[in-house]
Chains A and B, each alone.
Chain A
Amino acid sequence: MAFRTGISRRMMIRSGFGLRSMSSWWGSVEPAAKDPILGVTEAFLADPSPDKVNVGVGAYRDDNGKPVVLECVREAERRIAGKLNMEYLPMGGSVNMVEETLKLAYGENSEFIKDKRIAAVQALSGTGACRLFADFQKRFRPDSQIYIPVPTWANHHNIWRDAQVPQRTFHYYHPETKGLDFASLMDDVKNAPNGSFFLLHACAHNPTGVDPSEEQWKEISYQFKVKGHFAFFDMAYQGFASGDPERDAKSIKIFLEDGHLIGIAQSYAKNMGLYGQRVGCLSLLCEDEKQAVAVKSQLQQIARPMYSNPPVQGALIVSTILGDPELKKLWLKEVKVMADRIIGMRTALRENLEKLGSPLSWEHITNQIGMFCYSGLTPEQVDRMTNEFHIYMTRNGRISMAGITTGNVSYLANAIHEVSKSA
């Protein structure tokens, strides 16, 4: 039965009845700036050029430039579809998924897991995990700040800003060497007030690809102990960096061995290719089980007014894979294939540039690790890459190695050479 008010809109406007004024409440809302990273893909999609290359957003592509859904994921999906109901997960998410996820970060036989000392909840991928932590930090350590490396993933700044946690920075990337500015990093760690909160990239630093060596991690951990700092690890690339998940979690292992009570944000976006499913985990290592229970309950309180409980299907995919030895083996194989292809493209890009006779050093391409390479290109050079060569990347010179294929690597090398040869 259609409902009719009996009063036409025109009549209401004319009589002034029911409408305050003709102006919008939102008339003064400014158009927001485009997200620097996601905006790149939008621009790429809009470009009609047949030569266009997208080395912007960090999503894996195969050698044909196509997105990949892992076989282990397809199999898990087949097992799940049509079988399970869609009831609400608990506020803390899937217990199975979280358990398996903690094993990846803390070790298969971790005493911390056995002793139930880890407060952990399912989160909306890495972003959601960082945001839960940032909100938690604000609520329970309201006087604290967060030290963020320079540079970092742009959204880190947005996350802690929206959580209203003041930000400081610490030195990280060394533009001269295109490597780690270890001396300045250590100075910053020493000069920060005791008990400061630091954001660390566990492996495959985004956007630079520059990671501390094992020795350097040990020194950082030691200094953190001296200063009583809190380490929060964003681990978005475990397995994806070296091909070996255990190796990629080395920094965390070092800190745990040194007795730090750390926090970790984990994501399955890249290493399981679950990008759009939004699957991740936030964990905080506590002194004992009682504290872990308390902390977890408080994390849930933050999740409740944000989304009540996290999405189920992605979590089911993860727990199906990690809970089945065969599927887990397949996953480890597939992760290594992805990591190896990227390492292969690093080698190819560097070789191409050297063959072109570039006057610059491109060692950093193979020294750096993970999805991204900090090319060293300036914003102006990046603009030329886009305008003249239809190559899309973020203006900080970050190249997503996953977007490089055997088909486009020489075109890319050529373009880089063109814009940088007279630098």
Chain B
Amino acid sequence: MNSQHPDGSVFSNIVRAPEDPILGVTVAYNKDTSPIKLNLGVGAYRTEEGKPLVLNVVRRAEQLLVNDPSRVKEYLPIVGLAEFNKLSAKLIFGADSPAIQENRVATVQGLSGTGSLRIGAEFLARHYYQHTIYIPVPTWGNHPKIFTIAGLSVKTYRYYDPETRGLDFKGLLEDLGAAPTGAIVLLHACAHNPTGVDPTLEQWEQIRQLMRSKGLLPFFDSAYQGFASGSLDADAQSVRMFVADGGECLAAQSYAKNMGLYGERVGALSIVCKAADVASRVESQLKLVIRPMYSNPPIHGASIVATILKDSDMYNEWTLELKAMADRIISMRQLLFDTLRDRGTPGDWSHIIKQIGMFTFTGLNTEQVAFMTKEYHIYMTSDGRISMAGLSSRTVPHLADAIHAAVTRIP
């Protein structure tokens, strides 16, 4: 075989990239041959039977779409499905939001949360005067990669307090207070990933006042609206608070969890602007980011979402199924807490029921985590994060046993 290049391949210097730490957990879980094993790694919802769930309302929407002979597969516009964009903006900002009514919101369909964050980050790197973004410690592992590759410089602000397993509010205010004027700040709208620790509404108000006084630009990541508390409106309060003061912000939305559309990659990026003509120009520039990336977004997932959101029956059905998922997770939290308490497991485990959303930051250290994997075949990320969605009433006792063993044998 002839190689066209003197050294052979032009890419012969390439080394294998490390496994993604989160997705690598499932890889390891799948390799484990033990009959009793638990995957608490990736944040995808599971039923009480440990199965993935496609919502009934999503199945209904799919059937409507597939049975409609008039549907075609033409390219969407670069900004995506218009109906989907409008409905998504209403969902996060509220149907009566003045920003929407005044046409001040530029919304584009994005490839789930990841894609929406990336488009927003690219836009900021090109058009915003400040190229520093502050992200909380800790945050979703992919956040720093997205912002860095887009050309932003990533700094951090204190967020999680390991002592209290709650919010380091003082540290947060100090760090944001010290940020340069105009810096971008990444905020998890609700159900902070990976800690599950959210500010209270009073704390959000203080954050808002501080940020506005320093001209810090809010960039919300909303991946769990409705999935955290069970209420779509309650989970959007932080975002709506910022929009209500008339200021500008960015918001990335994902339908991966709250509509169970994970692999369909459905999301949206909205940029709330001061004026309608600004929003229009902003939208035109967002198109220039999207076109050389993938030209236009996929139709299927967005069509499912639009079908559901615009039909009041289906919308209501969705809110019920969403609440059921959120309630199951909340009940798993309660069950785990009760079980640990009944076992007399040393330590304060109240953070399990105080934290919210898909994940719990257990507070377990890396040795304890490794111990739980080796001895109890429980898989989680090494930072001690567990996905509550992976638990069932059947498996909670096994997890409690493992935690009990870990904290008593490995202090």
Contact A86 B262 (CB under 8 A): yes
| Interface residue? A20 (CB, 8 A) | yes
| A72 proximal to B (CB < 8 A) | no
Contacts of B215 in A (CB 8 A): 20
CB of A12 within 8 A of CB of B245, answer yes
**Given A59-B74, A87-B44, A261-B4, residue A1 in contact with residue B280 (CB < 8 A):** no
Q: Give 20 pairs: A residue, B residue, CB < 8 Å, sorted on A.
A: A9-B244, A30-B281, A34-B284, A35-B287, A69-B71, A81-B66, A85-B53, A88-B44, A88-B256, A125-B294, A127-B294, A163-B292, A228-B4, A228-B5, A230-B10, A260-B4, A284-B11, A305-B114, A307-B111, A310-B265
Cβ proximity bits B201-215 to A, threshold 8 Å, 1 near / 0 not: 100010011001101
Nearest CB in chain A: distance from B125 CB, A: 11
User: Which residues of chain B come closer than 8 Å to A161, judged between CB atoms?
Assistant: 292
A287→B9 contact, CB < 8 A: yes
A26 with B293, Cβ < 8 A, contacts A3-B240, A87-B44, A313-B301 known: no
Other-chain contact of B73, A27, A124, A277, A305 (Cβ < 8 Å): A277
Query: Complex formed: what's the CA distance from A116 to B51 in Å?
Result: 33
CB distance from A218 to the nearest CB of B (A): 15
Docked pose: A304 CA to B141 CA in angstroms: 11
Partner of A276, one of B111, B114, B128, B299: B299
A113 in contact (CB, < 8 A): no
Verify B291–A155 contact, CB threshold 8 A. Answer: yes
Question: What 1/0 flags go to A243-285 for Cβ under 8 Å of B?
Answer: 0000000000000001111000000010001111110000010
Structural contact, A88 and B262, CB atoms closer than 8 A: yes
Q: B164 in the interface, Cβ–Cβ < 8 Å?
A: no
> Are A18 and B298 interface neighbours, CB within 8 A?
no
Question: Is B8 positioned at the interface, with any CB of A under 8 Å from its CB?
Answer: yes
Q: Please state if A24 and B114 are interface contacts (CB–CB under 8 Å).
A: no
A276 to B285, CA, bound (A): 21
- What CA separation (Å) do A23 and B71 show in the bound complex? 43
Residues of A within 8 A of B75 (CB): 38, 57, 59, 269, 275-276
| Neighbouring A residues of B248 by C-beta, 8 Å | 24-26
Chain A, Cβ-Cβ closest to B72: A67
Q: Does B360 lie at the interface of the complex (its beta carbon under 8 Å from any beta carbon of A)?
A: no
Contacts of A329 in B (CB 8 A): none
Judged by a CB distance under 8 angstroms, whether A358 is at the interface is no
Q: Is the CB of A225 within 8 A of B146?
A: no
Q: How far is the CB of A254 from chain B (nearest CB, A)?
A: 13
| CA A68 to CA B65, docked complex, whole Å | 16
User: Is B411 among interface residues, defined by CB-CB distance under 8 A?
Assistant: no
| A204 located at the interface, meaning its Cβ lies under 8 Å from any Cβ of chain B in the complex | no
Interface residues in A299-345 by Cβ distance below 8 A to B read 300-301, 304-314
B162 proximal to A (CB < 8 A): no
B312 CB-CB contact with A under 8 Å: no
Q: A32-B285, A195-B6, A304-B145 are in contact. List 13 more A-B contacts (CB 8 A).
A: A18-B213, A29-B278, A38-B75, A82-B66, A86-B261, A124-B295, A128-B294, A197-B10, A276-B76, A294-B15, A294-B17, A309-B263, A314-B298
Contact at B66–A78, with CB atoms within 8 Å? yes
Query: Nearest Cβ distance between residue A389 and chain B, in whole angstroms?
Result: 24
Q: Are A293 and B16 in contact (CB under 8 A)?
A: yes
Given A3-B240, A295-B11, A12-B246 contact (CB < 8 Å): yes
B263's nearest neighbour on chain A, judged by CB, is A312
Residue of A nearest to B212 (CB): A18
Chain B contacts to A: CB under 8 angstroms: 1-6, 8-17, 20, 23, 42, 44, 52-54, 58-59, 62-63, 65-66, 71-78, 111-112, 114-115, 118, 127-129, 142, 145-146, 148-150, 182, 201, 205, 208-209, 212-213, 215, 217, 233-234, 237, 240-241, 244-248, 256, 260-265, 271, 273-275, 278, 280-282, 284-285, 287-289, 291-301
A162 part of interface (Cβ distance < 8 Å) = yes
Contacts of A225 in B (CB 8 A): 2, 4
Report B-chain residues with C-beta under 8 Å of the C-beta of A29.
Answer: 127, 278, 281-282, 285
**B9 — which chain A residues lie within 8 A by C-beta?**
261, 286-287, 291
- In chain A between 105 and 131, which residues have their CB closer than 8 angstroms to a CB of chain B? 124-125, 127-128, 131
A86→B287 contact, CB < 8 A = no
Measured in the bound complex, the distance between the Cα atoms of B248 and A188 in whole Å is 51
User: Are A307 and B265 neighbours in the complex by a CB distance under 8 Å?
Assistant: yes
Given contacts A82-B62, A141-B10, A158-B291, contact A87 B263 (CB under 8 A): yes
A32 touches B2 (CB 8 A): no
Is B294 in contact with A67, judged by CB distance below 8 angstroms?
no
In the complex, what distance in Å separates the CA atom of A381 from the CA atom of B262?
A: 49
Bound Cα distance A1, B230 (Å): 12
Q: Are A131 and B16 in contact (CB under 8 A)?
A: no
- Taken together as a complex, chains A and B put the C-alpha atoms of A12 and B205 apart, in Å, by 13
Measured between beta carbons, the chain B residues less than 8 angstroms from A32 are: 281, 284-285, 287-288
Closest Cβ of chain B: how far from A167's Cβ, in Å?
A: 13
A19 to B246, CA, bound (A): 8
| Given known contacts A32-B287, A59-B74, A298-B17, A87 and B212 CB-to-CB distance under 8 angstroms | no
| Residue from the list B247, B278, B285 in contact with A19, Cβ < 8 A | B247
Known: A3-B237, A67-B73, A125-B294. A87 touches B66 (CB 8 A): no
Q: Which residues of A contact B20 (CB under 8 A)?
A: 91, 300, 304
Given contacts A3-B201, A18-B208, contact A67 B78 (CB under 8 A): no
Q: Taking the complex as formed, is A46 at the interface, i.e. its CB lies under 8 A from any CB of chain B?
A: no
Contacting pair B291 A259 (CB below 8 A) = no
Give the complex CA separation of A276 and B264 in angstroms: 13
Report chain A residues within 8 Å CB of B234: 1
A320 to B263, CA, bound (A): 17
- Of B4, B6, B14, which contacts A140 at CB under 8 A? B14
Q: How far is the CA of A309 from the CA of B76 in the complex (A)?
A: 20
Bound state CA distance, A162 and B13, in angstroms?
Answer: 24
Task: Tell me whether A286 and B74 are in contact in the complex, defined as CB-CB below 8 angstroms, given that A29-B281, A307-B118, A310-B265 are known contacts.
Answer: no
Contact of B2 among A155, A258, A306 (CB under 8 A): A258
| Given known contacts A161-B292, A230-B5, A313-B301, A305 and B142 CB-to-CB distance under 8 angstroms | yes
Instruction: Contact check, A308 vs B112: say whether CB atoms are below 8 A apart.
Output: yes
Bound complex: CA A311 to CA B302 (Å)? 11
Nearest A-chain residue to B14, judged by Cβ: A294
A124 touches B294 (CB 8 A): yes
Q: How far is the CA of A236 from the CA of B240 in the complex (A)?
A: 44
Q: Which 10 residue pairs of A and B lie closest in terms of their CB atoms, listed nearest first?
A: A259-B2, A312-B263, A307-B111, A124-B294, A24-B274, A158-B292, A276-B299, A32-B284, A18-B212, A297-B17
Residues of A within 8 A of B129 (CB): 25
Q: Are B59 and A140 in contact (CB under 8 A)?
A: no
Considering only residues 70-103 of chain A, those with a C-beta below 8 Å from chain B are 73, 77-78, 81-82, 85-91
Per a CB cutoff under 8 Å, which of A5, A24, A297, A311 touches B265?
A311
User: Is the CB–CB distance between A25 and B128 below 8 Å?
Assistant: yes
Partner of B296 from the list A278, A293, A294, A308 (CB cut-off 8 Å) is A278
CA distance A291 to B63 in the complex (A): 43
Q: Which residues from chain B contact A67 at a C-beta distance below 8 Å?
A: 72-74
Contact A26 B281 (CB under 8 A): yes
